[in-house]
Chain A
Amino acid sequence: DTGVSQNPRHKITKRGQNVTFRCDPISEHNRLYWYRQTLGQGPEFLTYFQNEAQLEKSRLLSDRFSAERPKGSFSTLEIQRTEQGDSAMYLCASSLGQTYNSPLHFGNGTRLTVT
């Protein structure tokens, strides 16, 4: 399977705990995105990498959130001191190209539930 892979698929955690999600993009894709989706809403942009450089972060991304993409390959998204409002589907996407008009290819997401 050469699509975008996300792990775990589901994560249940207690409020105040830290969680980390992993995304493996399509291998030749140089761009990687994290989005968050809550019930009844469309995906909301969190952050974007081109290769290993994090080039853009949404104001939705509080200082409890950190994302990395070492060596421009896989990426991790960590949420520290989770809150119930963090419960959502976290989607990773990748794309290829140097221009803005390349479609995103999404993984199946990690569903986070904070109790």
Chain B
Amino acid sequence: DQQVKQNSPSLSVQEGRISILNCDYTNSMFDYFLWYKKYPAEGPTFLISISSIKDKNEDGRFTVFLNKSAKHLSLHIVPSQPGDSAVYFCAASERGTGNQFYFGTGTSLTVIP
């Protein structure tokens, strides 16, 4: 049962434009959300996180938005750069039920120069 879903396997964006990656979750008890970036032959690298007490968190070119009522989060990258081309995973965890992080299936972002 996939509790974290990324329904877009791939996304292409022109350099300098905004990239928006989406993620949906089904478990309303999730209260900590993260985005990871993964290059080929490397492990995932932590990008940005957000707690459920917030609806937005920003770090440089990366902003994560959380809509708890819709059980939806998104990652905005502005402006997109060719080096951002990678697979992006969203992940979620729930307080008090252990220490699992549930990952989506990933979205492959290609930034076209």
Contacts and interface: CB of A to CB of B under 8 A. Distances in A.
Given A45-B100, A108-B43, A103 B105 contact: no
A25 interface: no
Contact of B95 (A35, A43, A100, A108): A100
Contact of B105 (A4, A40, A108): A40
A98 B106 CA distance: 28
B49 interface: yes
Q: For the complex, would chain B's binding face be called helix, strand, loop or mixed by DSSP majority?
A: loop
Interface residues of B, number: 29
Interface in A4-18: 4, 6
Contacts of A58: 100
A45 B103 CA distance: 9
Most A C-beta atoms less than 10 A away, residue of B99, B103, B104, B106: B99
Interface of A: 4, 6, 31, 33, 35, 40-45, 48, 50, 55-56, 58, 91, 93, 100-101, 103-109
- The 4 A-B pairs with the shortest beta carbon distances in the complex, nearest first, are A42-B103, A106-B43, A101-B32, A103-B46
